[in-house]
């Protein structure tokens, strides 16, 4: 590919992945509006988020594997079509049931993340791969937080349905360009999809994420939570057994056991817990009226503006990450990013009396997210064979989501465990919660420190002996 083709390909990948990431957070601030417009309960409205999370968790590794087998460009276009259909149905949804189904369809596009990383690895010159991956990671990270900034103005000026109409327009154009100009990947994995493994993977992910995401409503000790968590353990054990015995596993557990992969995934789990919980609870903290003893009574738009420093520093750090890779290796970036996340959460726990303090802590956390997001992807791509890129990066994204679900659930328990007579949480709930998230990020830094020095990985080409693939650091 020439440089101009690289830029066009990257633009398509960044747009598709960015829109999907945007839809993760874009609807969250508008849930009360959706609840009122569709005459439903708060518990039902939260399924607009839960359905999206579960769907993405299931389809990301499965379609990542399918892309490795049948072609990443072909699978990328299919994922974009699913995102387009899901957004169109959501924009036209007459009731909450249809909207939830539309969010399930949108979740299929979670595979855009691993597919995009795989296409970059296949098509870009080796020297440009770290820069391209870090830049794409920055776009994904910023998109994940940008929804909190854009939701208020869009809903205020237009209507909540435009949260989906804008993506319809963008994704439609992106799909056409992707079909026409993105090249098909030359690498193919051998074998077929292990559908039994796919069913078991879906089962344990749902059994794990559903009670974790709903624990604040159901209660950790409720029969539903206990039964589902036990089911997750059993299904995970069955899945691991099936995958270990399969000639063509959905997720090659030998790859998952590579030291660089499992340590990076551990850091992803812990850092994801801190990152998603901050995104979920910091806007609510700022929107709490000062009469509660903290907070600033911010509007949805005002809370989003306080998050803006995080988005700016997140994007800047993510873009610079790849360009600094030669002097600042991915392992060091992940370690520093996690330490900065811990520092920011510590600042929020101890220093939150003024809006500028929140903005400063958010900016520091943004640097940490930018470095960590990019370096996780680089470490995984560098550490696995090219034919495993989609499945491995998809599983890394899933593990980060699982960590986010756990961190958010624990934070919710601390924040909402005790309420003031006014109905607002006590300040100590937020203080203790942010302190816990700081510990999550410190543990992620320790896991990142344990990532071994990078070495070449074998690339198996059908009909030939394994050959070492050059690596970038």
**Beta-carbon neighbour count of residue 228 at 10 Å?**
19
Tell me the C-alpha distance between 306 and 295, whole Å: 12
Q: What sections of 288-354 are H helices per DSSP?
A: 300-323, 330-350
For 271-280, the pLDDT digits (tens) are: 999 998 888 7
pLDDT at 2: 55
If you classify domain 3-193+248-468 with CATH, what class do you get?
mainly alpha
pLDDT at 469: 41
CA dihedral 108, 114, 116, 119 (to 10 degrees): -130
For 106-149, the pLDDT digits (tens) are: 999 988 888 888 888 888 888 888 888 888 888 888 887 788 78
- Phi, psi torsion values for 458, nearest 5 degrees: -75, 140
Q: What angle do CA 149, 153, 154 make, to 5 degrees?
A: 105
For 192-217, the pLDDT digits (tens) are: 777 888 899 889 888 888 887 777 77
pLDDT at 464: 36
- Tell me which DSSP letter residue 326 carries: T
369 closest CA partner among 142, 146, 111, 133: 142
- Phi, psi torsion values for 193, nearest 5 degrees: -80, 130
pLDDT at 296: 92
pLDDT at 55: 86
For 281-326, the pLDDT digits (tens) are: 888 888 889 988 899 988 878 888 888 899 899 888 888 887 776 7
Residue 99 in contact with residue 45, Cβ under 8 Å? no
Confidence of residue 34 (pLDDT cuts 50, 70, 90): confident
Residue 372 in contact with residue 338, Cβ under 8 Å? yes
468: enclosing H helix or E strand: strand 467-468
Residue 92 in contact with residue 83, Cβ under 8 Å? no
Tell me the C-alpha distance between 37 and 41, whole Å: 11
pLDDT at 455: 52
- Tell me which DSSP letter residue 353 carries: S
Confidence of residue 64 (pLDDT cuts 50, 70, 90): confident
- Among 169-183, 379-393, 411-425, top mean pLDDT goes to 169-183
Span 389-406, average pLDDT:
81
Span 30-34, average pLDDT:
79
Residue spans of the domains in the chain: they are 3-193+248-468, 194-247
Span 330-351, average pLDDT:
95
Residue 165 clears pLDDT 90, i.e. is over it: yes
Residue 145 in contact with residue 307, Cβ under 8 Å? yes
- Phi, psi torsion values for 459, nearest 5 degrees: -115, 115
- Tell me which DSSP letter residue 156 carries: H
Q: What sections of 93-222 are H helices per DSSP?
A: 96-107, 112-123, 129-157, 162-181, 195-218
**Beta-carbon neighbour count of residue 41 at 10 Å?**
9
pLDDT at 105: 95
**Straight-line distance from the first to the last Cα atom of the chain, in angstroms, rounded to the nearest whole number:** 22
**Beta-carbon neighbour count of residue 418 at 10 Å?**
10
Structure tokens at 84: 């387009």
pLDDT at 4: 63
pLDDT at 459: 39
Q: Give me the numbers of helices (H) and strands (E) for the chain, helices first please.
A: 18, 2
Angle, helices 355-383 vs 300-323, to 10°: value is 40
- Tell me which DSSP letter residue 467 carries: E
Residue 313 in contact with residue 370, Cβ under 8 Å? yes
For 93-102, the pLDDT digits (tens) are: 999 999 999 9
Span 453-465, average pLDDT:
44
Tell me the C-alpha distance between 124 and 321, whole Å: 17
* Residues in CB range of 61: below 8 A, 6 or more apart: 114, 201, 250, 251, 391, 394, 395, 398
470 φ/ψ sector (left φ>0, alpha ψ -120 to 50, else beta): beta
Tell me the C-alpha distance between 370 and 381, whole Å: 17
Residue 270 in contact with residue 337, Cβ under 8 Å? no
Residue 262 clears pLDDT 80, i.e. is over it: yes
Whole-structure pTM value: 0.79
Span 431-453, average pLDDT:
94
What percent of the chain lies above the pLDDT cut of 70? 93
For 171-195, the pLDDT digits (tens) are: 999 999 999 888 887 767 666 777 8
Span 365-370, average pLDDT:
94
For 229-248, the pLDDT digits (tens) are: 999 999 999 999 998 888 87
């Amino acid at each position: 590919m020439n440089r101009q083709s690289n830029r066009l390909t990257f633009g398509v990948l960044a747009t598709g992945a960015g829109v999907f990431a945007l839809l993760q957070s874009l609807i969250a601030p508008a849930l009360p509006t959706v609840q009122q417009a569709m005459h439903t309960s708060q518990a039902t409205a939260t399924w607009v988020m839960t359905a999206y999370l579960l769907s993405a968790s299931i389809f990301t590794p499965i379609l990542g594997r399918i892309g490795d087998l049948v072609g990443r460009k072909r699978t990328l276009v299919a994922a974009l079509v699913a995102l387009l259909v899901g957004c169109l149905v959501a924009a036209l949804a007459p009731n909450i049931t249809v909207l939830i189904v539309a969010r399930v369809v949108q979740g299929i596009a979670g595979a855009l993340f691993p597919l995009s990383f795989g296409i970059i690895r296949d098509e870009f010159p080796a020297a440009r791969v770290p820069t391209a991956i870090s830049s794409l990671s920055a776009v994904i990270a910023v998109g994940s937080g940008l929804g909190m900034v854009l939701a208020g103005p869009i809903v205020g000026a237009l209507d909540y349905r435009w949260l989906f109409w804008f993506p319809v327009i963008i994704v439609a154009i992106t799909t056409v360009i992707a079909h026409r100009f993105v090249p098909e990947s030359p690498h193919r994995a051998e074998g077929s999809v292990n559908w039994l493994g796919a069913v078991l993977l879906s089962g344990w992910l749902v059994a794990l994420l559903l009670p974790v995401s709903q624990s604040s409503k159901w209660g950790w000790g409720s029969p539903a939570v206990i039964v589902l968590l036990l089911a997750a353990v059993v299904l995970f054990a069955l899945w691991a057994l099936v995958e270990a015995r399969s000639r063509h596993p959905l997720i090659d557990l030998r790859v998952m056991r590579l030291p660089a992969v499992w340590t990076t995934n551990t850091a992803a789990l812990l850092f994801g817990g801190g990152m998603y919980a901050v995104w979920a609870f910091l806007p609510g903290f700022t929107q709490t009226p000062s009469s509660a003893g903290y907070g600033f009574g911010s509007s949805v738009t005002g809370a989003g503006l306080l998050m803006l420093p995080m988005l700016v520093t997140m994007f800047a750090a993510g873009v610079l990450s790849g360009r600094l890779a030669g002097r600042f290796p991915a392992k060091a970036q992940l370690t520093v990013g996690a330490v900065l996340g811990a520092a920011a959460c510590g600042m929020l726990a101890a220093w939150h009396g003024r809006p500028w303090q929140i903005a400063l802590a958010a900016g520091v956390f943004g640097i940490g997210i930018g470095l960590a997001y990019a370096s996780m992807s680089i470490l995984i791509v560098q550490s696995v064979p090219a034919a495993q890129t989609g499945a491995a990066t998809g599983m890394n994204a899933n593990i980060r989501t699982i960590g986010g679900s756990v961190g958010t659930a624990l934070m919710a328990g601390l924040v909402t465990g005790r309420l003031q007579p006014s109905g607002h949480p006590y300040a100590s709930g937020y203080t203790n919660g942010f302190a816990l998230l700081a510990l999550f990020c410190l543990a992620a830094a320790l896991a990142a420190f344990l990532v071994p020095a990078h070495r070449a990985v074998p690339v198996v080409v059908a009909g030939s002996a394994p050959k070492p693939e050059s690596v970038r650091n």
